[in-house]
Structure 1
């Protein structure tokens, strides 16, 4: 109606803006006209303008533009093995032997054989050895002049470390032969046996720590990793090994006892045993319909190789007709789109990095490497993940709800950008908030909004945000001299509920220091993309109502009714549900292990850390 009036009266658009706004400033008039005609939805919802504060009479000095940095990756430094202090054991037991006056036991007779023995172990392991053998001066693994059954069982576990994705060389022990010309004197035999005793105890404890905790301390990798320290006392482990009749079963029980770990182990075994003939495609291949590429015949060959009966029935003739062709003919577009759809890709018919990766897969060695890294990452988690849980995998851009290890719900997710990565941690879901407020994180306020506010102080008012001071009083953003503040801005900013709210209809909360949660979003178009790393760290859900219903134990209809009330409300979960915010480039889902790109570069970071651990654990240390 306004534009029609302008045309009929002969007024220009700009003149109309001046008339409506009462200002002759061209830029201001254009901006005000835009707000009048197309002002954002949040602005239209505002009931009353907050009171404006009078600006200070004397301008405060301008503060340099600040920047809140994201967490960084660290230069990983593994724990260096230390020399075991066998002299402390000898001194303590020698004093005890003198006080007792009894004939020395076989262990005490052999104790002198530790003189000059340079055994290296992690600091806690070395201390546990000294503590245990001071208190329990006897053999665990030796009987008579040889090894006992317990030693044989543990050695088999250590020698099978690779089946769990560990390195057998980290647990190598020199085993004295039953009969050897080198050990033909009693003293030499005793020395070999007591050194074997200490070495096996040290390596069994290293294995226990690696199986239960992982070889790498995740929190030393980057600021994005945040895991509580898992309890495992080396001294207590050695006590159990000394007492139990089944030390092998005990050691293996220290590995994660969940279906994800078991699935990855099966995948590792299958990959190592396979003799597959790979079709290797250049990962940088890019082909559009109508163009040609020397790698294109391989793509067709792979599609044909992996096609099932239904796919062949529909597309087999076209594939045969174009076999070996380097030209991407139009008739092949439906074939490529169908293949993309089978791999849960955006079926756009364009062959790029994601399509090549999904169709051709990665090399066998690359997949093995990713499984090994996934096994290591699972060791950072609790052994038992919980009967009800939510698994978020940033690498696959998915969120899954499970009950009794069965996937009840799985959906696409949008996670943090590489510059604002979603952290790697686990917590518990406590409640769902409907029609939520969005409290603008300090990093976004400082890094993104503050530069704009310095140019345009009233931006937050027009966009419908609420600004409060340190006492909780509402103020107008236009009244604040934003130039005087750096990273420590004494104001809080939040966006009220509504259609434009960044969190959409609801958010699912598992309170944590990273301010990460799952939520709805008005930006639905991002879910159609194959790579979905676009957020500031939180996890946007494709179907948030379904996830909220699952964690609250109710129906989607009930969630809709709660949202429809239009008011901000909270509902607690009947019980806290574990949520795992992870990063796995090899991930068991829907009955098979899938492989994903290393969007955050964390695989390379972890590989370097593991290489340093391997290097510092040189043979014999």
Structure 2
């Protein structure tokens, strides 16, 4: 028997010749031999002139994952000492044009600035610390404009008194008055030391200007730079603030309070949150406070249960009282979640608009017991800070998605024209916090699978089943756009970088459903339909990979396009297509655990991603940096 190459098993020449004569592709030769011998052939070095061994496959790469963004330990910029040395030689050019606001009028400081120049010596040895931009603005402004803004004669003037009142009232905006503290110089003595008085006044002038600029920055932009909180969950543009022009405006206005207050967001939501903050501070603590993190299933025990049952019993209506009054009366003090109490909880959940699943969790506690006063105060202050990151005028029309509420709304002309349930990202695939502008509606869309999903979820399966994507209705293309069968790719050769694009074809199984609404952003987040409709029935709807799934996608598409739902239905009949949104419709993919309804009533939501704690850490770090020199 002739042998073609040395192996641990002898192969009949007739069998192998027949196989080769049939023209079996080389890619399938190893499979044939595996089937023939029950396992891979173990090759030795071939004899000279014999058939060469099959080519080696690329080595397998160890499994890898693309990690999600992470949160950072917030580190604010350190304060710097203001360098007043440049003020010793006042400049005569470079003054900045005053801010052209309605309130920037009616006051002209002394033209010669003689008293100011004489007082400059009082800055020798004076240590004033401020943010870097503020420190530069002080030197730049007073070099070009050597005169007092806040002092007239030997006393702080009326504008200074008005500015100090606003700074001291910072708490009404959810800010900390300690960040803007300025010590008033003592009243001038009739026969006092003129040089010492000049020193007090020039230092007061600089301190007040520095803290007013800080206040204006915080009112307009917020105390916190949200983009520093995380490596990839926030994206907010800078709001330009010309601090030199701001001081110029303040030097010309007698309406300081109006000017400073105009720097805060000028929208009804901000005002509603301020009103809520004032009401909370004047209110009493809840009579009964239930642990907001309570999670209790039937059969389990908790000392928090009697509190919740007491609240349900206290608020019984006739229907619930007739059905469950006796049960509550008998078991109101029970710490064990007995089977008899399950229908009571389910009825209370249904009454509160929740899914009646009988499980007592944070949303049930929030709906039935509310949250503590301290928790609500904190959430309102976080919301005020977060609103300062956004435009002062939110725009109309607009789309507003509030992730903790799991809702998406279309708002126009001060009315909520459309509101629907939404599904947001899982805790491991969080939806980002940003705003953008809606650009297009895509009908019967392809789904371009993100690299993170290819690597983290598809690749492990493809290593053992390379043809999976072909069978599941996906297209695979290389970097040049050439389509390649999934089964022809050695997926085991790739780790965290896969050099192929994968997209799912339109159809009933498509992850995006029948349409998507695009607003290009660096997170590749958009709104879309979904075939998984059952998720909208749940109270907690965090199931996506980061995009926002809509309960009524046709309604939202019609709203942003300014069309009817029938129009959208007709477009869908035409198959895959795309339509541009021709008007300006901003979209806010927002994260507020306290947010007002259109009527001004503030509602509270659980912090599903734990972002309030990250914001509090940032606030604390900022306060610590400011504290020693504020």
Q: Same fold (TM over 0.5)?
A: yes
Rounded to whole Å, the distance in 1 between the matches of 2:531 and 2:113 is 79
Q: Return the match for 1:544 from 546, 549, 553.
A: 553
Tell me by how many angstroms 1:310 deviates: 8.2
| Cα separation, partners in 2 of 1:112 and 1:276, compared to 1, 3 Å | same
Is 1:578 aligned with 2:576? no
CA distances 1:41-94 after superposition (whole Å, capped 9, x unpaired):
xxxxxxxxxxxxxxx944122233232221111222101111111111123369
Kindly indicate whether the alpha-carbon contact (under 8 Å) linking 2:113 and 2:148 is maintained by their aligned counterparts in 1: no
C-alpha root-mean-square deviation of aligned residues, in Å? 2.7
Alignment of 1:128-527 (within 5 A): 128-179=137-188, 184-222=192-230, 223-283=232-292, 285-287=294-296, 294-306=303-315, 324=333, 335-527=344-536
| Cα separation, partners in 2 of 1:77 and 1:292, compared to 1, 3 Å | closer
Tell me by how many angstroms 1:369 deviates: 0.9
Tell me by how many angstroms 1:342 deviates: 4.1
What's 2:10 paired with? none
Tell me by how many angstroms 1:312 deviates: 6.7
Tell me by how many angstroms 1:586 deviates: 1.3
| Cα separation, partners in 2 of 1:377 and 1:291, compared to 1, 3 Å | closer
Rounded to whole Å, the distance in 1 between the matches of 2:113 and 2:413 is 56
Rounded to whole Å, the distance in 2 between the matches of 1:449 and 1:288 is 35
Rounded to whole Å, the distance in 2 between the matches of 1:327 and 1:123 is 59
Tell me by how many angstroms 1:514 deviates: 0.9
What's 2:108 paired with? none
Rounded to whole Å, the distance in 2 between the matches of 1:167 and 1:286 is 35
Tell me by how many angstroms 1:422 deviates: 0.6
Rounded to whole Å, the distance in 2 between the matches of 1:137 and 1:285 is 62
Kindly indicate whether the alpha-carbon contact (under 8 Å) linking 1:390 and 1:579 is maintained by their aligned counterparts in 2: yes
Rounded to whole Å, the distance in 2 between the matches of 1:308 and 1:242 is 62
Kindly indicate whether the alpha-carbon contact (under 8 Å) linking 2:92 and 2:144 is maintained by their aligned counterparts in 1: no
Rounded to whole Å, the distance in 2 between the matches of 1:157 and 1:554 is 47
| Cα separation, partners in 2 of 1:274 and 1:195, compared to 1, 3 Å | same
Helix, strand or coil for the counterpart of 2:462?
Answer: helix
| Cα separation, partners in 2 of 1:118 and 1:206, compared to 1, 3 Å | same
Rounded to whole Å, the distance in 2 between the matches of 1:317 and 1:564 is 57
Kindly indicate whether the alpha-carbon contact (under 8 Å) linking 1:417 and 1:537 is maintained by their aligned counterparts in 2: yes
Of 218-227 and 295-304, deviating more is 295-304
Helix, strand or coil for the counterpart of 2:419?
Answer: strand
Rounded to whole Å, the distance in 1 between the matches of 2:316 and 2:155 is 58
CA distances 1:512-549 after superposition (whole Å, capped 9, x unpaired):
12110000111111112222111111011111111111
What TM-score do you get using the length of structure 2 for normalisation?
0.84
Rounded to whole Å, the distance in 1 between the matches of 2:243 and 2:500 is 49
CA distances 1:187-227 after superposition (whole Å, capped 9, x unpaired):
11111111111111000000000111111111111121111
CA distances 1:85-143 after superposition (whole Å, capped 9, x unpaired):
11111233699xxxxxx997111111111111101111110111101111111110111
Rounded to whole Å, the distance in 2 between the matches of 1:225 and 1:165 is 21
Kindly indicate whether the alpha-carbon contact (under 8 Å) linking 1:553 and 1:574 is maintained by their aligned counterparts in 2: no
What's 2:78 paired with? 80
Kindly indicate whether the alpha-carbon contact (under 8 Å) linking 1:172 and 1:619 is maintained by their aligned counterparts in 2: no
Segments of structure 2 that go 5 or more residues without pairing to the other structure are 1-30, 36-53, 94-110
| Cα separation, partners in 2 of 1:233 and 1:312, compared to 1, 3 Å | farther
CA distances 1:387-439 after superposition (whole Å, capped 9, x unpaired):
11111112221111111232111111111111111111110111111111101
The structure with more helix, counted as a fraction of residues: 1
What's 2:567 paired with? 558
Kindly indicate whether the alpha-carbon contact (under 8 Å) linking 2:167 and 2:212 is maintained by their aligned counterparts in 1: yes
Kindly indicate whether the alpha-carbon contact (under 8 Å) linking 1:466 and 1:495 is maintained by their aligned counterparts in 2: yes
Tell me by how many angstroms 1:618 deviates: 1.7
Kindly indicate whether the alpha-carbon contact (under 8 Å) linking 1:170 and 1:619 is maintained by their aligned counterparts in 2: no
Helix, strand or coil for the counterpart of 1:581?
Answer: strand
Rounded to whole Å, the distance in 2 between the matches of 1:564 and 1:588 is 39
| Cα separation, partners in 2 of 1:171 and 1:337, compared to 1, 3 Å | same
Tell me by how many angstroms 1:311 deviates: 7.0
| Cα separation, partners in 2 of 1:134 and 1:317, compared to 1, 3 Å | same
Rounded to whole Å, the distance in 2 between the matches of 1:58 and 1:332 is 66
Kindly indicate whether the alpha-carbon contact (under 8 Å) linking 1:519 and 1:541 is maintained by their aligned counterparts in 2: yes
What's 1:99 paired with? none
What TM-score do you get using the length of structure 1 for normalisation?
0.85
Helix, strand or coil for the counterpart of 1:92?
Answer: coil
Of 448-457 and 330-339, deviating more is 330-339
Helix, strand or coil for the counterpart of 1:426?
Answer: strand
Rounded to whole Å, the distance in 1 between the matches of 2:129 and 2:512 is 53
Tell me by how many angstroms 1:585 deviates: 1.3
What's 2:61 paired with? 63
Of 478-487 and 282-291, deviating more is 282-291
Rounded to whole Å, the distance in 2 between the matches of 1:618 and 1:292 is 45
Segments of structure 1 that go 5 or more residues without pairing to the other structure are 1-23, 29-55, 96-101
Kindly indicate whether the alpha-carbon contact (under 8 Å) linking 2:396 and 2:585 is maintained by their aligned counterparts in 1: no
| Cα separation, partners in 2 of 1:469 and 1:335, compared to 1, 3 Å | same
Rounded to whole Å, the distance in 2 between the matches of 1:240 and 1:489 is 56
